[in-house]
Chains A and B, each alone.
Chain A
Amino acid sequence: MSSEVRMAQDAGVAMDTQCIRAALADAGTRQTPAICFVDVMKSFGERHVQDHQTFSVQAGELFAIIGPSGTGKSVTLKLIAGLLRPDAGEVRVLGKTLSELSSKELSQLRRRIGFLFQGGALLGWKTLAENVALPLQEHGRLTANEIEARVQAALAEVGLKDAGELYPAEVSGGMLKRAAFARAIIENPEILLFDEPTSGLDPVMAYTIDSLVRKINRAHHAACVVVTHDMAGALRYADRIAFLKDGRFLIVDTPEAIRQSDLPEIQSFLNPEQTEVSHV
């Protein structure tokens, strides 16, 4: 990248930052974003995984993050969840600055966040149904029958009606992912973070999950951040799409605008057959 482009980008970032600061300062006129990154930096050794990253996601918005493997998509979600701390900059979630929270406050905030991990992260010694029931059991309030009913409903929604009694080691990767999906949404959180919810699923199931994401997003007015490789799916259901490369969003825009974009990286995701390997 030429230094002029880099400087222009930095200037753009500085302006974005100011915009967001202003927006935060005066929440009366504009809605406080559910998620807000302000000039976030994160590196592992020499590798800059978040490089002056600034963006925000509104409540009720479905925000898709697309990008090549290993560019920091999962890290972005973990920063939102407070599982990783930024080297510099600020992450605000539901109006709270994560770095200012005590671990108790962070734990309380996390009850309002659902997270689907890339590998599912189900507990191996519990059945799928027990895994899905776990957050409800731990946070009390519901009776055993109510929990059972909610769990069965959630499992049915992800097409696992008859698989509840199986253990994670006994099911396929796709089933594991769907059970983990059910666990993430079981408490109707205000923020949903999905790390590749449809990878490893057949197209029909992927469509079902995509529709489910959209439905939950609309029904509960939840802010959803979906990391995906599935450009076609993202174009169909996302409100905005961000393309992450080298720790920065190359573009953040509506699906229509993304379709029109002539950035080579985007083109390569839209039409992989016409692309040389070098872009990805």
Chain B
Amino acid sequence: MTIVQEREGGVVATFFAALGRSVQLMMLALLGLPWVLLRRDSRQTFSRQLYTIGIGTLPVATVVAMFTGMILTLQLGIAFKQFSQEIMVAYTLSFAMLREMGPFMTGIILASCVGSAMAAQLGTMKINEEIAALEMMSIDPVRFLVAPRMWAILIMAPLLSFYTCIVAFLGGATVGFTQLDVPFLQFVAEIVTVAEVKDLYVGLLKAALFGAFICTISCSVGFATTHGAAGVGASTRRAVIYSFLAILAGGYFVTRFFYVF
């Protein structure tokens, strides 16, 4: 795939050209799996990315998930208490987190922590002609740079989403116990009982999909960087915004696909 390219045409044409390139980029990155596993170089990038994506985001994810669980429980508690249905809080929290909020929050965290970094790094490499240098060495930048990131985020996003749900449940159970007088273990037991396997796997699938979106968008925006340091800044911002939009739209359509039809 040729990274160095020149732009022409109107807004709509540019949009569809960018979309087409992104889909192509995603496919090529996914097909780069053999290289990720077999080449020492790509394996190193891959494990570094696994660490950055998985471990690097844990502190943020923990705090965000904890408070989300607590806030949701508190709000739901206020509503359900009127009908003396406090235990329904656990039920609602369970499927809200597993189906929607877990993957959604994971996506937002990954877009802002990891996607922005990908766009900034690839953008800087583009500006410094490192991408062109890779092409001159006949090294495909997509398989060299994007494939390891893609597979790392595909693996880590669902795990992170699952972790986020667990932490949110613990936060919720804590609030349930302190504010709603529901015993901690009963709250947790309720969550486990009502959780459906389908909710779990659709949520994990969603998280993986969001990860793929974030990586694709951030890398293609990074590759399209021009105009020096200011351009890198613009690319970073663009990567985060486009990723948010893709997460929102993607979340809606996946939910529709699995729960409406």
Contacts and interface: CB of A to CB of B under 8 A. Distances in A.
Interface residues of B, number: 18
A84 B129 CA distance: 13
Contacts of A84: 4, 6
Interface stretch (A14-22, A111-119, A242-250): A111-119
B138 A107 contact: yes
Contact of B137 (A83, A118, A135): A135
B135 interface: yes
Q: Which 9 A-B pairs have the closest CB atoms?
A: A121-B133, A121-B129, A115-B136, A135-B137, A117-B129, A107-B138, A121-B130, A111-B138, A110-B138
Contacts of B139: 134-135, 138
A134 B135 contact: no
26 contacts: A83-B132, A83-B136, A84-B4, A84-B6, A106-B2, A107-B135, A107-B138, A107-B140, A110-B136, A110-B138, A115-B136, A117-B132, A117-B133, A118-B129, A121-B128, A121-B130, A121-B133, A122-B130, A122-B133, A123-B125, A123-B130, A124-B130, A134-B41, A134-B137, A138-B41, A138-B137
Contact of A83 (B4, B138, B140): B4
Interface string A196-218: 00000000000000000000000
Contacts of B140: 107
A6 interface: no
Interface string B131-151: 011011111100000000000
B128 A119 contact: yes
A103 interface: yes
For chain A, give the interface size range: 20 to 34
A134 B6 CA distance: 27
A115 B133 contact: yes
A111 B125 CA distance: 21
A117 B135 CA distance: 12
A115 B131 CA distance: 13
B31 interface: no
A121 B127 CA distance: 9
Interface string A145-175: 0000000000000000000000000000000
